[in-house]
Amino acid sequence: MSARVSLRNGSRALAHRNYRLFFGGQGISLVGTWMQTVAQAWLVLKLTSDPFMLGLLSAAQFLPVMVLGLFGGIVADALPKRKTLIATQTSQMLLAFALFALSQAGIVQVWHILVLALLLGVSNAVDMPTRQAFAVEMVGRDDVPNAVALNSAMFNGARIIGPAVAGIAIGVLGIPIAFLLNGLSFLAVIAAYAVMRDEDLRGPARYHRPASVRAVGETLGDGLRYCWRSPMLLLPITLVGFASVFGMNFGVVIPALADQVLHTDATGYGFLMSAMGVGSMAAALLIAFSGRPRPMVIGLGSVGLGLGLVAGGLVGSVALALPAMALVGFGAIGMAATANTTVQLNVEDGYRGRVMSVYSTVFAGSTPIGGLFAGWLATAVSVDGSLVIAGVLTGLTGLLGVVWLRRIRARGVAPFLVHDGVAGGTSPARLR
């Protein structure tokens, strides 16, 4: 009986037709995205042999999210989310095809890659908060925790497949094939959005679109104040921000670790990324099938991420690095998926787009800072030394988060509730 209950809990969101379409289309597209992530980092490293350039690439891709992410939340609240997502996914498909054309022609230079990464970041500044806020419209508030966990499982399933396929494909057919396959993969998710039924969507709360620059500023300020007032919004957003700066710079440290410390090729790099995906998938499935998430996992996940990074910096072979990367993935997704769900369940629908834009801005927007920090540290100290330092800082962030959560629990603030328009009310329900 309990097994059937767990299975039902783990797949509740899939009962909704629109979410099933999203899950299938996005899953295919994400495999292509991970293929491009591996190929792009490997291409930059081969062109420059400089880990700092990987940090610059990461900054270029995520700086627009940091700068424009809050405005993306206004777009998410003000415009039809399904049509907005079709537009953003189409723009990302065209950017992938442009990178394929440049690399296939043999004329690609680092500045081309940086410009395309910057444009991708502009698209993501709108896409990320819109996509996350769209989840509740597809499945409803009751099933949104399961949808978030399944999204993480899908994302990390693609993280297992995409890098492994990319590593093999690059070794056999060359780097450009990864960019071509990524571009083609967007057709699946665009088609999924196109055939969704609007009548099956849960309508968002009524939202008055700002009509002036001043109104935009007031709307942004309102969303930020809303987050600041709620401990169960402020805690996950803050912890994810610091952990992302210190420890989630995988596009910088993992390729440099593979090339300069472990002395492996693109295939070995792909398998390191896939090992991280295995750990991430395990965490996502554990959250999906365990029912309601526990906020304490945010801090504990950060500790696990830190321990994995320290282990990755201390080992000297691919065989030993694989389980370390699996622990990195497990901790990172345990933290991030639980934080995402905690935010989703503590926000009113009228604020959802703006709050998710704050979360997305902090989560992805911290990458420019963290990427440059990781690239500089790897160049100034060493690649393996930078992993150890990043792991220690990330672990300390998690421990501070555990202490913070215990203090919130002592005040009796309830998780996953919205009372009278104020997120995170003062019910005595226990935090676990």
pLDDT digit string, tens, across residues 360-375: 767 766 766 777 777 7
User: For the purposes of burial, counting CB atoms within 10 Å of the CB of 48, is it exposed (0-12), middle (13-18) or buried (19 or more)?
Assistant: middle
pLDDT > 70: what percent of the chain? 80
- What pLDDT was estimated at residue 246? 86
- What pLDDT was estimated at residue 3? 45
Q: Are 377 and 296 in contact (CB under 8 A)?
A: no
Provide the mean pLDDT of the chain.
78
Q: Are 179 and 102 in contact (CB under 8 A)?
A: no
- Answer yes or no: is pLDDT of 211 > 80: no
Q: Are 232 and 427 in contact (CB under 8 A)?
A: no
Domain positions in the chain: 2-198+213-419
- What pLDDT was estimated at residue 183? 93
Q: Max Cα separation, the chain?
A: 63
Question: Mean of the pLDDT values across residues 153-173?
Answer: 78
The three-state secondary structure class of 109 is coil
The three-state secondary structure class of 92 is helix
Q: Are 184 and 25 in contact (CB under 8 A)?
A: no
Regarding beta strands 418-419 and 422-423, do their DSSP bridges make them parallel or antiparallel, or are they unpaired? antiparallel
Q: Around Cβ 263, how many Cβ atoms within 10 Å?
A: 11
Query: For 414, left (φ over 0), alpha (ψ -120 to 50), or beta?
Result: beta
In this prediction the pTM is 0.65
CATH number for the region 2-198+213-419 comes to 1.20.1250.20
Both tokens of 61, joined, read 């891709």
